[in-house]
Amino acid sequence: MTAVRIASDGIAAEIAPLGAELVRLTDADGRDWQWGGDPAVWAGRAPILFPIVGTLRDDSFRWQGTRYNLPRHGFARRSTFALVDHAADRVTFRLESDAATLAVWPFAFQLDMDYAVAGSTLTMTASVRNPSADPMPASFGYHPALLWPLPGGAPRDAHEILFDKPESAPVRRLDADGLVDPAPRPSPVDGNSLALSDSLFAADALILDRPASDRLIYGAPDGGRVAVGYPGMPQIAFWQKPGAGYLCIEPWHGLSDPAGFDGDIFEKPGMAIIDGGGERRFTMTIELLP
C-alpha cells in the first residue's frame, strides 16, 4: 500500500503504512519541509519509537525471570500498520500485538497513530491501549527529521531553537553503547535559545530530561520557521548525523537504559505504566509559521 495523503489549505502530509511513518510534509506552495530519507546518509524520515525509546543494555530486558531481546527504539518502525480510518484531513493507522510481537515484548497492546491537519498545523497523536487486566509498561517517541536549512532562504548557521521557557537544567548524553551517561552535562541552551551547529551532535543526541517548555520554535529569524508542540512529553531530544541536511526534533516518553542498569522492564527509567484496560496518549504538533 502506498502512502496516504491528507491536506488542508496550508499543509499536506503523507503517511506510509510501514511504521505509520510521516514521509512527506509540504506547505501550500508545495515546498518540502521534511528530510527525504537519503539512504546514503540516513534512510529514516520520522520513525515511530515503540514500545521502547533508545537502547536497552545488551539489547535486552528482563521480566518475570525471562530475558527478551529488543533492538534500539523497538519494533513499531519496522511493522506494517493497518489503515482503519481516512478522510481528506485525517488518517488513522493501527498496530496490534500478535505472536511476533509477543515473542519480544510479552504484553498485549493496541497502538493507534492519528494524523490530522488544520490550517498550517499537523497534529500527531499516538494512543496506546492495554487490553489486558494487568499493568503494562511502554515508552513512546517521535523522531521527525525536518530540513536544515528550512525553506525560506536563510543560511544553515542562522537556524536556532527558541524554547517557550528558559532551559538551564543539565542535559543528558549517550555513551558509546547508546546508553544514558550517568553524569549530566551543562546545558548548551542560553536562556531559552539554542544556537545550532554540527558540533552539538558529535556525541550523538542532545537530550533535555524534564524540560520546562512544552513548545519551541525552530528555524531562522529571516527564513522558514516551525513551531513544535510536545505537551506532556517528559523528554525532548535533538539529533542529526553531523553535517547532514536535517534536524530531528524528538519528543519522548522514555530513555535509553542508564549505563549499568540491571532492573526489570517495569523499573526502567522513563517508562509509562498503563493500567489494565487503560490508555495513554502522546501528542506532537508541527506548525509551519509564516
The pLDDT tens digits for 192-224 are: 999 999 999 998 999 999 999 999 999 999 889
pLDDT-above-90 percentage for the chain: 94
What's the Cα-to-Cα distance from 171 to each of 141, 174, 253, 258, 288, rounded to whole Å? Answer: 18, 10, 16, 14, 27
In this prediction, residue 126 carries a pLDDT of 98
164-167 contacts at long range (C-beta below 8 A, 24 or more positions apart): 164/192, 164/213, 164/214, 164/215, 164/216, 165/192, 165/212, 165/213, 166/191, 166/192, 166/212, 167/192, 167/194, 167/208, 167/211, 167/212, 167/213
Kindly report the pTM of this predicted structure.
Answer: 0.97
Does the structure show a pLDDT above 90 at 111?
yes
- Residue-level pLDDT at 290: 86
Contact 140, 270 (CB under 8 A): no
Domain holding 156, by residue range, is 4-289
Residue 250 has pLDDT above 80, yes or no: yes
Interval 159-178 mean pLDDT: 95
Q: How many domains does the chain have?
A: 1
Question: Rounded mean pLDDT of 56-62?
Answer: 95
Q: What local confidence, expressed as pLDDT, does residue 182 receive?
A: 86
- What is the average per-residue pLDDT within 127-156? 97
- Chain-centroid distance, C-alpha 224: 21
d(CA 88, CA 274): 32
At 184 the pLDDT is 86
Phi, psi (degrees; rounded to nearest 5) at 258? -65, 150
> 3-class DSSP state for residue 166?
coil
pLDDT, residue 121, reads: 98
Q: What is the CATH number of the domain that holds 119?
A: 2.70.98.10
46 pLDDT more than 90: yes
10 Å Cβ neighbour count for 166? 14
Cβ(252)–Cβ(237) below 8 Å: yes
- Model pLDDT for residues 258-286, shown as the tens digit of each residue: 998 989 999 999 999 999 999 999 999 99
Q: 64-75: per-residue pLDDT in tens?
A: 999 999 999 999
pLDDT band at 183 (very low <50, low <70, confident <90, very high): confident
Mean pLDDT of 114-140: 98
Cell of 256: 535509553
In the prediction, which pLDDT does 240 show?
A: 96
Q: Which residues are CB-contacts of 156 (< 8 A; sequence separation ≥ 6)? A: 148, 149
Query: What pLDDT score does 285 carry?
Result: 98
